[in-house]
Amino acid sequence: MRRFPPIHQEIRVNFRYGVYFTDKVFAPANPLLAEIAGSGGDGAPQKILAVVDQGLYQHHPRLLAEVSEYVEHYSDRLRLAAPPLLVPGGERVKNEAAPVFRVRRAVHRAGLCRHSYVVAVGGGAVVDMAGFAAATAHRGVRLVRIPTTVMAQADASIGVKNSVNAFGKKNFLGTFAPPWAVINDCNFLTTLSHRDWLSGVSEALKVALIRDAAFFAFLEKSAPALK
C-alpha cells in the first residue's frame, strides 16, 4: 500500500483591538462607541444588539433609555437592531442555557451578520456569556465589551476568552475570540460595593505580581487610596 507525504498547513493569525477608558459611554456628547462601531462598516449604519446586565440596570434605571437615545443620536452610524436585551447578572447567567439561546435568537431575529455588533454591558459573567453567544453565531459576530465592575475591567473582559459553565464544570464550553473593542467606563464603578472594589484591586495586584514590577510599585504607593 502506497503512502503519500502529508501536506502541512500553517496558520498564523494576529489580532489587534483597543482597550479604551472613558466615562458616561452612552452620553450623546461621547462619540467613542459610535466611532468604534462605525469604523468597520461600509458607510451604512451598523446594527447593534445590546445585552445588558439586569443587576447593573437596577443601579442605573435609565440605562436602557440611554442606550436607545445614544444610538438615535448617532443614527448615521448606528442602528439598534432590537430593544436592549436584559439578562441576569452574576454566575447564574453562565450556568443556564437560556441566556445564550436568547442572545443567539436575538441575533437571528434582528438579522445581524458578521459585520454587526453585540454590545455586552455588565459584569464579567454577563460579558463572558454574551461573548460566547456572539462568537458562535455566524461563526463570529463582532463583540464590543463594556465591563462594569473593577474585576471585569481589570481582567475578565480584556482577554480573548469567552465561556459558559456546563455539566457542573466552570467554563466547560468556550471560545477564543478577540473582541472588536473593550470600553472601560469608570462611571459604572460608582455604584459598586467596597467588597467589589477590593476584588478587582486584588486581581490587579495578582497581575502586577506575576508580570509587571512597575505596576506593582504603583499599587504599593497608591495603597492608602485603594483601601
At 105-151, the pLDDT tens digits run: 999 999 999 999 999 999 999 999 999 999 999 999 999 999 999 99
Please tell me the number of Cα atoms within 13 Å of 114 on its side-chain side.
5
pLDDT at 40: 59
Shared domain for 31 and 140, answered yes or no, is: yes
- Report yes or no on 5 lying in a domain: no
Structure confidence at residue 151 (pLDDT): 92
Assign residue 185 the CATH number of its domain. 3.40.50.1970
Q: Which domain holds residue 49?
A: 18-189
Residue 11 lies in a domain: no
Q: Say if residue 107 is in the same domain as residue 218.
A: no
Is the same domain home to 97 and 146? yes
C-alpha cell at 8: 502541512
Q: How far is CA 214 from the centre of its chain?
A: 27
CA distance 30 to 66: 12
Residues 6+ apart with CB under 8 A from 226: 197, 201, 219
Q: Is the confidence at residue 41, as pLDDT, over 80?
A: no
Q: For the CA atoms of 141, 147, 152, 158, what is the dihedral angle to 10 degrees? A: 50
Same domain, yes or no: 218 and 144: no
Of 33, 23, 90, residue with least CA distance to 67: 33
Residue 25 has pLDDT above 70, yes or no: yes
182 vs 134: CA distance, rounded Å: 15
Looking at the structure of the chain, the number of domains it has is 2
Residue 7 domain-assigned (yes or no): no
Residues 156 and 224 in one domain: no
pTM, to two decimals: 0.92
Within 13 Å of residue 172, how many CA atoms lie on the same side as its CB? 10
Q: Identify the band that residue 5 occupies on the pLDDT scale cut at 50, 70 and 90.
A: very high
On whether both 177 and 221 belong to a single domain, the answer is no
